[in-house]
Amino acid sequence: MASIDIKKIQERFAGAEVEIAIQDRDGGDQAPVVSKSIKKVQLCPDGTHLRFYFDDFYFLAVPLASQVTESAGLWSAADEESGLTYTFKKVQVF
């Protein structure tokens, strides 16, 4: 597992269509997978989270302390403190 490379994530996801899943390691209530378009990716003001913006206002924040796992079409960040894993899967648009 690696740490978050912000520039690489910006290049990979800004403007992309993705499916997002958030999983709880303790097996609690599971949120449904949602399809979103990522408008931009940037650091939060205090520098602790990476924000994935869906528009100019709404975003999902992933802690920078998360451990990252990547493959060709999948990016996953596991936050040890909260027990949550954030998974982004690029969707091919034809």
- Give the tens place of pLDDT for each residue, 38-69: 999 999 999 999 999 999 999 999 999 999 99
77, 70, 31: which is closest to 52 by C-alpha?
A: 77
Asked if the structure places residue 11 within a domain, the reply is yes
Residue 68, domain extent: 6-90
Asked if the structure places residue 29 within a domain, the reply is yes
Asked if the structure places residue 62 within a domain, the reply is yes
pLDDT at 8: 87
**Cα separation values, 17 from 14, 27, 83, Å:** 9, 27, 26
Asked if the structure places residue 15 within a domain, the reply is yes
pLDDT at 2: 59
Asked if the structure places residue 18 within a domain, the reply is yes
Asked if the structure places residue 50 within a domain, the reply is yes
Q: Give the chain's domain count.
A: 1
Asked if the structure places residue 1 within a domain, the reply is no
For residue 88, the tally of other CB atoms under 10 A from its CB is 24
Asked if the structure places residue 44 within a domain, the reply is yes
Q: Where are the alpha helices (DSSP H) in the chain?
A: 6-13
